[in-house]
Amino acid sequence: MKFFIDTANLKQIQEAQSLGILDGVTTNPSLMAKEGIKGQANIIQHYLDICKTVSGDVSAEVITTDYEEIIKEGKKLASLHPHIVVKVPMIKDGIKAIKYFSDHHIKTNCTLVFSAGQALLAAKAGATYVSPFIGRLDDTSTDGISLIQQIVHIYQNYDYQTQVLAASIRHPMHIIMCAEVGADVVTCPLDVILSLFNHPLTDIGLAKFLADYKKSQ
Ligand code: E4P
């Protein structure tokens, strides 16, 4: 399973990259705004900085919703760097645009997916990734992990090549459950990735090993 980091914060991306386990980055307009990145030139420069930091795919989201505009914006984003994946919302014009991008060998991430039917459309259009938002589903008393399982199952039935990218990850058990049901990718905030390290028995065991070593010197 690939690990992406879900942030536009360069320091956090660098920290995750330095662990040697990072496969890519997802951003969205809210995450860019959170970092104070404003204006087209700054946004483009920030995507380039992210692409220089990681060796994997970097999702850059379009902020247009009309087919022709999405194509124009997506082509511009894709031309910035080979790592760029054009992130397109799950709307009719978005699906049409994903089909266009797929036919023109431009990688896409179909975002804001909340149902198996939407995921089926994304796969049929040839999306590289589909992003079901599991945390936001959990927030509405709907089991996000069951949706991941359902999409993985449907894609396997028809050998769709679209990768299931579990998004809106909130805690380490989301990551474990995604791995259990066969998600291709999880995209997580840095603190959730780091929480996978936590186990008190590791800390206690290491402290004892080091103390015993000291005693033996
Ligand atoms: C991923 O591509 C999304 O941008 C992100 O995971 C959404 O997460 P949130 O629900 O925590 O905003």
Residue 44: HSE in the Cβ half-sphere, 13 Å Cα cutoff: 12
Tens of pLDDT along the chain (217 residues) come to 999 999 999 999 999 999 999 999 999 999 999 999 999 999 999 999 999 999 999 999 999 999 999 999 999 999 999 999 999 999 999 999 999 999 999 999 999 999 999 999 999 999 999 999 999 999 999 999 999 999 999 999 999 999 999 999 999 999 999 999 999 999 999 999 999 999 999 999 999 999 999 999 9
Q: What is the pLDDT of residue 40?
A: 93
Q: What is the pLDDT of residue 136?
A: 98
CB of residue 136 inside a 6 A radius of ligand 1: yes
**Nearest partner of 84 among 43, 41, 139, 39, judged by Cα:** 43
Pull the structure tokens for residue 61: 């989201």
**Nearest partner of 59 among 13, 112, 6, judged by Cα:** 6
Cα–Cα distance, 124 to 118 (Å, whole number): 10
The SS3 assignment for 41 reads helix
Candidate of 168, 185, 192 to mutate for ligand 1, largest count of ligand atoms within 8 Å of Cβ? 168
pTM of the model: 0.96
